[in-house]
Amino acid sequence: MRKQTGLLWLPGMDPNAPLVPADAPPTLEDWFENVYVKQMIATGRSRDRINELRLAIQRWKWWCKSEQRIHHPLLSDVTPRRLSEFREAALGAEIPGEKRVSRPISARSLNKTLGALEQIINAASETLDSLSVIRVKKVAQPRQVDKLVISDSDLSRIFEACEVATWPSCAADGREPVSSPPTLWRFLVAWWTNYGMRTQDLVAFESSQRPICWANVTTSPENPHHDGTLSNEHGWLVYVPDKTERDKPDPLVLPLNATTRHWLDRLADDTPTGRDPARVIAPVPHSGREFYGQWRRILKAADVRPKPKMAIDANGRPRMVERHYKIKHLRCTAATRIEDHAGPLGYPGAGQLVTGHDSDRSPGKTKSNVFGRHYYSAERALIEVLTTLPQPAGFAPDTPPPVDATKNTDRPRLRVVG
């Protein structure tokens, strides 16, 4: 028990934190670092989320210093009026971000910062009587990227165009070589098309992300899930999506099929370290610019793009807006292809199960978690759907690439799942 006349030790504060004068109100940063971080760790909040809140505090301190001449803002300085002023001043302004690099702040990023500050103050109000719960209006965000379903013919042309890939030539550490960039990209496209995982669950070009490793796959036919009873000759994929790990902690246990197993084996053969369980399956340098630049080069070689989108201008007249395929479109493509195949087999909803979009996986839902307590009920559906899923031409080892790569007669389906 720490006692010292005239000094204050806040409830929940780290015992090693420096004492402050008893009559000094807590600063936002001190309370966060000495009290709230410990609470977040105890409740299982991720390191990434804690860092997001730290970034919000740094942005708030920047504004307080530049606009309010306040160098060490207090918890009580975060008021609805000041948050509104911050919101109006910050949108589009050059504000220090990650690694203290200044760049214009987007509407989405600003709303995340506002939400983070609200979260901190509302948490502090539970123990400090001088504070109360606050809410502030968020700024309007641009619409999210349109969900597109990539046609099988376009998928085949993209897959074939992976031959032009020259990046990466080495892994994230800059030393481990990658023998065949075309093989790596064909592996990525095939797995995204079959499983629809989020981009950086499979290949991480940011150091904070956690992609799947060789430990996440097994070539043993036996289902690794403790409630699994069926076998699959191609093996299994086991992973927890990084984005939803806190709310959906149960792993996705998905069967490999002939196509995904083939490209997994090809990648292992082309990787000097083979199937080292501790290594990521698709190691790349941490460079989003290079990653997406390579994707655009592949699309250019494939010469594919979706049909232009019709929009209505300010005068009420229709106009056509060009669109381009993005890697995230492979996620809804996978969900839709799986759902179209699963329906006639009598397994509706399989697309959401495979991609991890099933909302019933969240704790507190009334319906059971099929990947947790009731995996048995989904096991047969997953095996029958994924192992018989039709593959675009050229994906499977025994199918040729498209004969005529200049024609696109297979229009994308209209229904989008996921």
Residue 57: per-residue pLDDT: 94
* 339 and 236, same domain (yes or no): yes
Residue 93: per-residue pLDDT: 84
pLDDT in tens, 238-258: 999 987 776 678 899 999 999
Nearest to 344 by CA among 369, 381, 392, 391: 381
pLDDT in tens, 359-392: 443 333 433 344 554 576 789 999 999 999 999 9
pLDDT in tens, 387-410: 999 999 999 987 655 554 344 444
* 65 and 180, same domain (yes or no): no
Domain-terminating residue out of 124, 144, 178: 124
User: Is the pLDDT score of 336 beyond 70?
Assistant: yes
Residue 44 domain flag: yes
pLDDT in tens, 101-128: 677 888 888 999 999 999 999 999 998 8
Residue 263 domain flag: yes
Residue 311 domain flag: yes
What residues make up the domain containing 216? Answer: 152-386
* 157 and 60, same domain (yes or no): no
* 116 and 185, same domain (yes or no): no
* 210 and 326, same domain (yes or no): yes
Residue 111 domain flag: yes
* 157 and 287, same domain (yes or no): yes
Residue 145: per-residue pLDDT: 58
Residue 134 domain flag: no
* 246 and 346, same domain (yes or no): yes
Choice between 44 and 74, residue whose per-residue pLDDT is larger: 74
* 86 and 215, same domain (yes or no): no
Give the chain's mean pLDDT.
83
pLDDT in tens, 139-158: 887 766 568 999 999 999 99
* 191 and 118, same domain (yes or no): no
* 165 and 83, same domain (yes or no): no
* 216 and 274, same domain (yes or no): yes
Residue 133 domain flag: no
Name the pTM for this structure: 0.68
Residue 336 domain flag: yes
How many domains would you assign to the chain?
2
* 203 and 331, same domain (yes or no): yes
| Interval 183-203 mean pLDDT | 96
- As a whole number of angstroms, the distance between CA 84 and CA 90 comes to 10
Residue 145 domain flag: no
Confidence band (pLDDT; 50, 70, 90) for 177?
low
